[in-house]
Structure formats: C-alpha cells, structure tokens
Structure 1
Amino acid sequence: MNEKQKKSKSKFLSYVLRHHPEIINLNLDENGWANVDELITTSKRDSYEGFTFEELDEIVQTNAKKRFAFNEDKTRIRASQGHSIDINLALIPQQPPEFLYHGTAQSNIESILEKGIEKRDRQHVHLSQDKETATSVGMRHGKPIILTIKTGEMFENGIEFYLSDNGVWLTDFVNSIYISR
C-alpha cells in the first residue's frame, strides 16, 4: 500500500470508527470496538475495495497520531478518541500536567475567549501535551493559535481529565477562565 492509499484508507477508517459505522453496516460495542473480520467483510462495498488485515495492521502500527488500536489478540479494533457517536472508552480519570495546549484557528479565538472550548459534536475537548502537536492541530483550520490551558487549576477545582490510548488529554469543557494565549 503506497502512502496515498494508506492516507485514504486511514481517513475512511477514522470516519467509520469515529463517526459513521452504519455506512458499512458495522457494529461497534459500547466501548467502540469493532470485530476485525466484520470490518474487513463490511468495508468492501460499492467501488471501495475495503481493507485487508495486513492493511489494517499497517495503518494501526504506522499512524503517527496513533488514532487506532487493536485489542491484545488483534481481533477487535477501535479509534482511540475523537468519536461523535456515543461510546464509552472506559477511560479512568487522571491528574493532568499543570498546563496543556489547544490548537485552533485565529477565526475561533474570539468565541473561545468568550465561551470557552466546547466539545461540540465530539465526546470530549482534545488537549495536547506539547505546543508542536497543538500547532499541527491548529494548522488544519487556518493560521494556528496555541492556547495554554491551566489544567492543574481545573483539576484542583474538580474537573475530570482522561488520557486516551494515544496520549491525547480529554475533558468535557474548558471554561475561558482557564485559558491564556
């Protein structure tokens, strides 16, 4: 599989596992896990050639953002975070570092500083451990702006945080009082 094919298949996998499993009649359990054999079978539809196990394995192993994970025996697969569908990732609340970062576009700053960071159609707000990752996230939406989030203070005030399997920090909402530019 060349890089262009891998990117295309990774995007489709993300779309299916995070947002719309129904488009290929794929069943996810309450924790977002899909049966690998079922995914391989159901992903072959219309003009889309689907996935082989080897392709799925390569996507999971080489995805720089570690967006996907297999269970121990590689019979089930799921997206690590970023779902817009209702699933329970069974994450355990954890104490975050003192500061985390959020990358966004310049066009969003006024709203964020007024209303905070909302999860919108996702299950959580995503925060990065480093400015570089936040910058790459912000670049997807235009000129990137990196916000520093006072996560230590949020945690002290009773706000829960979770660490996804791929190192993304998650929370339900970031009030603007915890945000600095």
Structure 2
Amino acid sequence: MNAAKAKKRSKFLSLLLRHRPELLDLKLEDGGWTDTQALIEKINNYKKGDILTFQELEYIVSTNDKQRFAFNTDKTKIRANQGHSTNVEMNYISTTPPPVLYHGTATKNIDSILKNGILKGNRQYVHLSADTETAEKVGARHGKPFIFKIETFKMQQAGVKFYQAENGVWLTDYVSSEFLKK
C-alpha cells in the first residue's frame, strides 16, 4: 500500500472510530472498541471496488505516525486511542503527568485561550503534549504555531485530573488560563 492510500484510509478510519461511527452503523463499546472484521466488511461494502484487507489495516495501525489506532491483543477489536468527539467511554485511568506539558495552537487563538483557557471544543478532552516538538506540529496544522506551557503540577494541586492515551497524548477536561505560561 502506498503512503498516499494509507493516509487516505487512516483519515477515513479516524472519521469512523473517533467522530462518526454511525456513518457505517458501527457500534463502539466501552473503551472505543469495535469488531475488526465487522469494520473491514462495512468499509468494503461502503467503498465498493476499493477493498480493505486485514493486512492493510494492520499496516495502517502499525505505521500511523501519531499511533492513532490500536488492536486488542488478538486483533479481533480495534479502536482509536484518543481524539473522540462521539460519546464513548474510554475508561482512561487518572495518572500523574510530568510537571509541565505543552499545548500547540495557532497564533490566532492566543487571545481567546488567555481569556477562556483551553477548551476541549467538540472533543472529549483537551489534548496536551509532553514535548514542544509535538506541540509545534499540532499548532502548525491551523496556522502559525504558538506553544503554551502548562503548569500541570499546580493543576493537580488544584484537583484537576489527567489521563494518558496509549499513544502518549495527555488528556484533561479543561486548562484554566491561570495555569498557562507563554
């Protein structure tokens, strides 16, 4: 499978497993899991003539640069690791983050974030990065990037919970502007 086709399929998987499972009548269980074989069959019925094989799905999961997807141990179930806007219980366990995390955004959002904090928007959680490189890439997707430093130690002292997805993305419900540093 060439890189362009893998990227296109990865985006379609994100749409289905993170945002619109109803598009193919997929059922997401707790943890965001769905049956792998049913997913393949529904995609193949939807995209007639553009068949997805299990091997191609394995390739997409294993080579996705953001590690957006995961199989269960016997690969009978698949899910998106984080980033859901659909209502699914991911069963994340609260954990202690590093003392500082980062949030990448576009410069056009700075004033709003300083006023309102970092909101989760249509997703279940605010996404934070453990390193500035990742935060910069995230911010660059929407314009000239800007990185906020998040004082997670202070947030935890204030009772805020943090979770970490399988792919290393840090998650929380909201980041108040009082915990932000430029």
Do the two structures share a fold, i.e. TM-score over 0.5?
yes
**Shift, 1:31, TM fit:** 2.0
Q: Per-residue deviation at 1:110? A: 0.4
Partner of 1:7: 7
For 2:101 and 2:174, the matched residues in 1 are separated by: 13
- Whole-angstrom CA distance in 2 between matches of 1:24 and 1:165: 25
How far apart are 1:127 and its partner, in Å?
Answer: 0.1
Shift of 1:113: 0.3
Give the equivalent residue in structure 1 for 2:162.
161
Q: Distance in 1 between matches of 2:49 and 2:61?
A: 20
- In the other structure, the counterpart of 2:43 is 43
TM-score (norm 1): 0.97
Partners of 1:135 and 1:164 in 2: how far apart? Answer: 19
Matched to 2:103, the amino acid is H
Match of 2:88 in 1: 87
1:1-181 superposed matches below 5 A: 1-44=1-44, 45-47=46-48, 49-181=50-182
Query: How far did 1:48 drift?
Result: 6.7
What secondary structure, in the 3-state scheme, does the structure 1 residue paired with 2:148 have? strand
Separation in structure 2 between the aligned mates of residue 112 and residue 48 of structure 1, nearest angstrom: 45
Bigger share in helix: 2
Summarize the Cα distance change of 1:66–1:161 in structure 2 as closer, same or farther, 3 Å threshold.
same
Note the residue ranges of structure 2 that are not aligned, 5 or more in a row: none
Instruction: State the 1:51 CA deviation.
Output: 2.1
Q: Percent identity?
A: 51
Q: Which runs of 4+ in 1 moved over 4 A?
A: none
CA displacement at 1:47 relative to structure 2: 4.8
Quick one: distance in 1 between partners of 2:104 and 2:153? 18
* Number of residues of Structure 1 aligned to a counterpart in Structure 2: 181
Q: Could you list the runs of 5+ residues in structure 1 that have no partner in the other structure?
A: none
**Normalized against structure 2, the TM-score is what?**
0.97
Cα distance change on mapping 1:149 and 1:33 into 2, 3 Å: same
When the two chains are superposed, the root-mean-square deviation of aligned CA atoms in Å is 1.0
Q: Aligned letter for 1:130?
A: D
1:12 corresponds to which letter in structure 2? F
Q: Secondary structure of the equivalent of 2:168?
A: coil
